[in-house]
Every structure is written in C-alpha cells, then in structure tokens.
Structure 1
Amino acid sequence: MSRRRIVIINDMSLARGGATALAMMAAEDFVARGHEVIWLCGDDGDSPELAALGVEVVAVGGKTLLELPGRTALTSGLMNTRARDVVARFIAERDTPETVYHTHSWAQIFSPEVFAALKPVSQRTLIHAHDMFVACPNGVYMDYQKGQVCTRVPLSLDCISTHCDKRSYPQKVWRVLRQKNLRRHLGDGSDWGGILVLHPEMTSRLTRSGYRADAIHVVRNPVVPYAKERIRAEENRKLVYVGRLEPDKGTGVLAEAARRTGVPTTLVGDGPMRAGLEADASGNPTITGWIERSQVGGYVGDARALVMPSLHPEPFALVIAEAVESGLPVLVADTALMSKEVEQNGLGLSFSPTDPASIDAALTRFMSLPDDQVRAMSEKGYSGDVRLGLSRSEWIDAQEAEYDRVLAGIRASAA
C-alpha cells in the first residue's frame, strides 16, 4: 500500500482500553508503515503516546458526557455543534482526494453530528463499529429491565415504546433521539466508505436496523494469546474468569454457579462487585484483584477452561479468542456472538447465563470430561486451525485493504 494520509477520529486521546486502545494501536502501526496519521479527538488532545509517535493531534477540547452538567450533557450528546464545526473546518482546510477518515468512537464527545461534518468525504470515511451503537439505541441489543437479549427492530414502535434502558425510560427516549439523529446522517450506509464490524454475526444485527448488507465489512480484532506455550488444560482442575467484576459481565452468575457446583473458580480482575463477592464465607471463587494484562498468563495457566458468562451480547469477546489461542478451552454464554463458533469448532461449550441449571450443567459437564477430550480442544485452539481473531499485522493489513477499496471505488466511479 502506498503512503496515505489517515485521519483517525476518536473521542479520546488517552488509551484506557476498548476502542481507543485499538485506535492507538492502529496509529502506532500506521506510522511504522510510513503513513501520515492525524488524530482528530474530542478531548484536549494531551496524549504522551501520540506525541511520542509524532502524530499530529487536532483537538476539540471537549469533555465526556459524564463530565458535563446534566442539561449540557443532554444537548451535547444529541448534537455537539462545536465538535462538528472543528471537524468541518479541518476537512475544508486540509482535505485531499487521497485522505481517508476512520472513526472509532463518537458517542461520548463528538455526538452523531460528527457525521454531518464528514458528509462531504463520506465515501472516504470508514465507521468502525466496536459496539452496536450504530444500530441500537442502548448499544447492546439488551433489554436490561427483563434481563433478556433484545430481538426488536431498532427505532420501530415496539422498540421506542419498550423500557429497556439500564437507568430509566426517559434515558431510553434520549437514546432514541440520539439514534434518530445518527441515522439521519448515516442513512442505510450506502453513501459511506463502509461500516467495519468485529464479527460476522454483527451483520444481521445492523441490517435489522436498516443498513445495507453491502455497506458492512468484517474486520476481526487483533488477538495476543495469554501464553506462548500451550496451556496444558487437561492437567488442570479449576476454572478461570478474566474481566471486570460487574453484573453485566455475568460475574455474579458465575460466582453463584461455582458455589452451587463446588467447582474451584478464580476471578481475575476488579470491579464494583468485588467487595460483595469477597464477603462470601465459602472462599469460592477466589479473586485476584486488578492485574496488568501482561500478568494474566500467570493466572490462567493452571485452569482447565476460561468462562465468559456475559449477560448481554458481546460483539467480540476478546478473552475468548485470547484463551483459545493459548490452548485454553472456553465455556461461553450463548449471548456471545462467538458462541456458535466455539461449539461448532469443538473449542468448548456454551450455556444460557440466565438459566442456573444451564450454567451448572456446563461447569460440571466440562470438569468431568476425560482429559484426552480436553487436550483435543486445547490443541485445536492452540494450533491456529480455527482463527477467531487476527494477528496485529493482519489487522493492520485488513484496514489498509479497506482504504484501498474505498479509494479504488471512487476512482472507478469517476472514470
């Protein structure tokens, strides 16, 4: 790929995980490959990481919705005109025919209005869907009031009239208004360079909301295994969970199942549920507290399987792919978009996180599997024959290929 100018648009300039960490990783690798990278952010742009990379930063100087006074947050979240104008001015003054724009996060500062500013360069703009906010008002296709995965059509009467929000119905109404503004700009996606999704199963959820299937392109996330050597899962007799200790992640569901079944379980992570879980006198599960990502391998190496019990649909549960590539089988909530792949490819089992009998059965069944079956699962995942994610270099290759695709398409239509 020839040298390009790549404008990354992201709410934040500091990597605190999630979309920003991935956007920062992309910026680092694009610079290493000789591309010019400009980081257009909603916050103040004070980023030592970007400065060290020599990346030009154009900052709005705004604050996240949680940092703003209530009324200001309500209006800014729907329509941040200041951020829109900064982006529009940048495009008017700095755009070139070969510049590509790549949005990663927009919901905390930029608001849907960022896409109004990007409209003149929409065919050269890629929208990275790290979650479901491009399709679903609450971002996860989850009815939090009923604790069920939502199958409604976004912005339909059924959707709008249903109180599915974590907090309140007025909050849901606000999310609906924001979604309507977003869709006013994005339409069915056909005028844009493309919507990049993390997993093939995301496609049907976006088309359900009205996006065209041919506007959606799959770019799986990069995966770094927990361990270089295969974890000998067949020799181990406990389970492990890696992640935040919070209700949505199903941490409480797993803890209760561990106590009911007596299966030794370790929770690797920290979060609001930690104190309550530690107060239980049973001692199962055990909790490590927060640890560096580089240390996780030391806590999963003595596990028979990793459990991912999330209650809501995880578009790309990175822990699943990280475990599988390390040779660690997985027990996965059937809400996860990867759950079908896990079972179909013999990498583990799935269960319903809302059914205690289902999760208990999965835990006890897996722990009773013969060691040779567990070893077969472990070796299959570690072998790389089944790829749930990409390597870091493959991930960058895939994004470069998307840039080439949109620019080639523009040239072809102009010929």
Structure 2
Amino acid sequence: MANRTQRVVLVMDYGDIRGGLEKVCIESALALKAAGKDVVFFCGVAPVDPRLQAAGIQVHCIGVQDIASDPSKLRAARNGLWNNAAARKLDEVIRDTEDLSATVVHVHGWTKSLSSAIGPVVTAPDIRHVFTMHEYFFACPNGGFYNYKTNEICNTPAMGLGCLSTNCDLRHPAHKAYRVARKLVQSARGGLPSKVRNVIYISAVQQEVMQPYFPPSTTLWQVANPAVSEKRPAVNVAGNTDFCFVGRLVETKGALEFARAAHRARVPAVFIGDGPLRGAIKAANPQAVILGWKQEDEVVQHLHNARTLVFPSKWYECQPLVPIEAQALGIPVICGDWCAARETVLHEETGLHIRSLDEGGGFDHALTRLSSADYAAQLGQAAYDRYWAAPLTMQRHLDRLLGVYEQI
C-alpha cells in the first residue's frame, strides 16, 4: 500500500464520547496515532477526552455550546445555521502544515455545533476529504427519515413538497421549520452534499436510502464501524431464559411493543436501559424487569443471562452495534426486516427477522420460537462462529480506513 497520508484531521461536534459516533471517532483517532499518523482532533464542544492529548494528539476545541444547550436561543439558532468562527478556525487548522497533499480531513459530525459552514472549508478543491455518515442529515432535515408524530419510517422524498408540508418533528412545528431552513442553508451555501467528493457509509441500508441524494461525482465507500475486538467465551443461551432489550426506553426503539409482545408470548422481558416509557412498559407488562442504565461491563454481565437479544428499533438505524455485540457473545437476535440490523442478523441462521411490531407481524411468534433452548443454542452458536470468522475489530476498521485515505 502507498503511504500518501501522513496527517489526519478528525472533525466532530463534541470532544468526548456521547454516543456511537463520538466513540468511533475518538477510538479511531487513538488507533491512527498508534499506527504512526500525525493526528489532529478538531471539535466544537468541551470537554475533550483526556486520552487524546495523553496520546500526543493535537487537539483544537473551539469551546462553543451545542445548539440544544446554549442558553441564548438566538445565538444557538444563528450558529446552528452557520458558525463562521468554526469554519475560520477549522480552515486555519487544516492548512497549518507544510504539505497539504499529505493531509486527509475526515468529518464525523457537524450538525450539533460546527454547522454546515465547515462544508466549503472541507470540500475546497485542494483538500482531500471524506465524511462518515452516522445518520441521514445529508438529505433528511431531521436526520433519520423518521416521522416522530406517527412513529414510523418516512418514505417521503427529503425536501420535496410532501416533506416540507409534513410536521414530522417530535417537538413544535417551528422546530421542523428551523430544520428545513438549516437544510436549505446546508445545501445552498454549505455545499453539503453537492460538493462532497467522498462519503463513507456503514451499512447497505444506509447506502440504499442515501444514494439518490448524492451527485454522480461523489464516491461512496463502505467502512463498517468497529464493534468487538476481544473474544469472550460464548454465552450458554440454552441455560438462560431472559429476553433482553438494551437501550433507551423510547418510541423509536420499540421498547413498549417488545413489552407487550413478551407479555403475550409469556417470555421474561428484561430491559437494560431507561427512559420516558418506563411506566408504560410496567403497565403493559407488570412482570418486565427494568434494570436502568448500566456501565458497559455490567451490560455484558447481564447479557450472560440472556436467551435472546431483542432489537425492535422502528427506524432504519445505520449500523446498530448492540445486535453485533450480542452475536459476538453467541446470543441470537430478533430484529425488524426494515432495519440495518438485518444485515448482520441472518434470518433463521443467527437470529430471526420480523415483518412488523404489530401482533400479526411475527414478533410474538419469534419470541415463542426462541423459547426453545435447543433452537436458541443452535442460532447462538452460528452467530458466535460467524462473527469471529470475520470480526469487526478496530484493526480491521483501521486497515479499511487507511485504504480509503490512500485512494482519495
């Protein structure tokens, strides 16, 4: 492999881990540094993960607040549309080098604090760049192709008349109007996605949904996010009874539907997480156990009591890691056939797909089928073997990432 890329500038809204996006960005920064690259980390919101500077990574945090937490609504709205300060500083950081051609700028997130003002900076003709899609903001104003009013996937073309006339936002219609305005600025002034030359997608579902919104000049690269690198013994699912859900107890994740289906199928439902639907879940299924939020190691411990991991998320997702992590432990997974999890959960081989969360959609039947210890053990072993035959390790992610860098 050639070695054109000596310096990588990683860009995201936050300086610490707040979700999967930030975890991938920060951990890949550390891996790139360990691989001998000159890594620069640029972010909008403090605090910054202390591991970055400890590893010798150059950090630039402009110290703004994200648009949701800024006490000045006017400033938040203005910066959310166009953050000039972020753009100027990022341009300065990118160009602070003797050989710009050896630099790749890799953007992981910009919608929470940096804004699309960084678009013209990153996509300048002399800048080698790539954006990773961790959501759907390049096209959809709310970032998810999901109608939060009807709680279903939105198939309306983004920014078309149907989109503009639909209040799909979880909050006030004015919030949807602001998101539309932000998307218009993003497209017209920020050049996102029309000027973007390289995009990383993390699942085939994401590619399928987003491909129509990119110009022919944009090259799409598939680079799966890292998942589990440490191999642990397979869970004895045949000896367990718990049907486990991991995540926020909210409408989009299908938590309440799982509680109802588990009650109908008479299987023990265990929720690792918390959220506004806690009360509704207990009302729908009094036998359900809600453990609340747990640390990563504690989640793994609880999964050692699982018969099955249930992932009933209602939206497309991008590359959900919880089903992958469960299969790496030898736990079969139930997921929707509309969701990106279907790519890693093979129907009737490593888990089961369901058609919908309604009573006739196969959810109850899937839970009943995996009540069989032998069947669960069969699928769980297949899941374990399949994952570890080609594990999504950080090294594998890094190799693919460096391969993309060399070609852009």
Rounded Cα–Cα distance in structure 1 between residues aligned with 2:336 and 2:389: 19
Q: Confirm or deny: 8 A CA contact 1:195 1:217 kept in the other structure.
A: yes
Ranges in structure 2 where 5+ consecutive residues have no aligned partner: none
Q: Which amino acid aligns with 1:148?
A: E
Change in 2 beyond 3 A, CA 1:291/1:121: farther
Q: Confirm or deny: 8 A CA contact 2:205 2:339 kept in the other structure.
A: no
> Does residue 257 of structure 2 align to residue 253 of structure 1?
yes
Q: Output one character per residue of 1:107-166: Cα deviation in whole Å (capped at 9) or x when no partner.
A: 110011111222325751110111111221111111222222111211112221222111
Out of 355-364 and 247-256, give the one that drifted further: 355-364
How far residue 310 of structure 1 moved from its aligned partner, in angstroms, is 1.1
Equivalent in the alignment of 2:33:
31
Q: Confirm or deny: 8 A CA contact 1:197 1:203 kept in the other structure.
A: yes
Rounded Cα–Cα distance in structure 1 between residues aligned with 2:390 and 2:73: 41
Rounded Cα–Cα distance in structure 1 between residues aligned with 2:89 and 2:315: 35
Equivalent in the alignment of 2:92:
89
Rounded Cα–Cα distance in structure 2 between residues aligned with 1:206 and 1:353: 23
Q: Confirm or deny: 8 A CA contact 1:330 1:349 kept in the other structure.
A: yes
> Does residue 271 of structure 2 align to residue 301 of structure 1?
no
Rounded Cα–Cα distance in structure 2 between residues aligned with 1:216 and 1:275: 43
Secondary structure in structure 2 of the residue aligned to 1:228: coil
Aligned residues: 402
Q: Which amino acid aligns with 2:342?
A: S
Out of 86-95 and 151-160, give the one that drifted further: 86-95
> Does residue 45 of structure 2 align to residue 49 of structure 1?
no
Rounded Cα–Cα distance in structure 1 between residues aligned with 2:222 and 2:108: 15
Q: Confirm or deny: 8 A CA contact 1:310 1:353 kept in the other structure.
A: no
Alignment equivalent of 1:238, drawn from 238, 242, 246: 242
Rounded Cα–Cα distance in structure 2 between residues aligned with 1:381 and 1:332: 14
Change in 2 beyond 3 A, CA 1:176/1:120: same
Taking the TM superposition and a 5 Å limit, the aligned residue runs for 1:85-234 are 85-94=88-97, 96-120=100-124, 124-184=128-188, 185-186=190-191, 191-212=195-216, 215-224=219-228, 228-234=232-238
How far residue 48 of structure 1 moved from its aligned partner, in angstroms, is 1.8
Q: TM-score normalised to the size of structure 2?
A: 0.91
How far residue 227 of structure 1 moved from its aligned partner, in angstroms, is 6.6
Across the aligned residues of Structure 1 and Structure 2, the Cα RMSD in angstroms comes to 2.5
Ranges in structure 1 where 5+ consecutive residues have no aligned partner: 407-415
Out of 354-363 and 124-133, give the one that drifted further: 354-363
Equivalent in the alignment of 1:311:
314
Secondary structure in structure 1 of the residue aligned to 2:238: helix
Secondary structure in structure 1 of the residue aligned to 2:256: helix
Equivalent in the alignment of 1:334:
337
Rounded Cα–Cα distance in structure 2 between residues aligned with 1:308 and 1:292: 19
Q: Which amino acid aligns with 1:178?
A: R
Q: Which amino acid aligns with 1:23?
A: C
Secondary structure in structure 2 of the residue aligned to 1:21: helix
Change in 2 beyond 3 A, CA 1:283/1:380: same
How far residue 214 of structure 1 moved from its aligned partner, in angstroms, is 5.6
> Does residue 350 of structure 2 align to residue 347 of structure 1?
yes
Q: Confirm or deny: 8 A CA contact 2:334 2:354 kept in the other structure.
A: yes
Q: Confirm or deny: 8 A CA contact 1:196 1:216 kept in the other structure.
A: yes
How far residue 291 of structure 1 moved from its aligned partner, in angstroms, is 1.3
Q: Which amino acid aligns with 1:382?
A: Y
Q: Confirm or deny: 8 A CA contact 1:321 1:389 kept in the other structure.
A: no
Q: Confirm or deny: 8 A CA contact 2:80 2:182 kept in the other structure.
A: yes
Secondary structure in structure 1 of the residue aligned to 2:233: coil
Q: Confirm or deny: 8 A CA contact 1:321 1:388 kept in the other structure.
A: no
Equivalent in the alignment of 1:402:
404
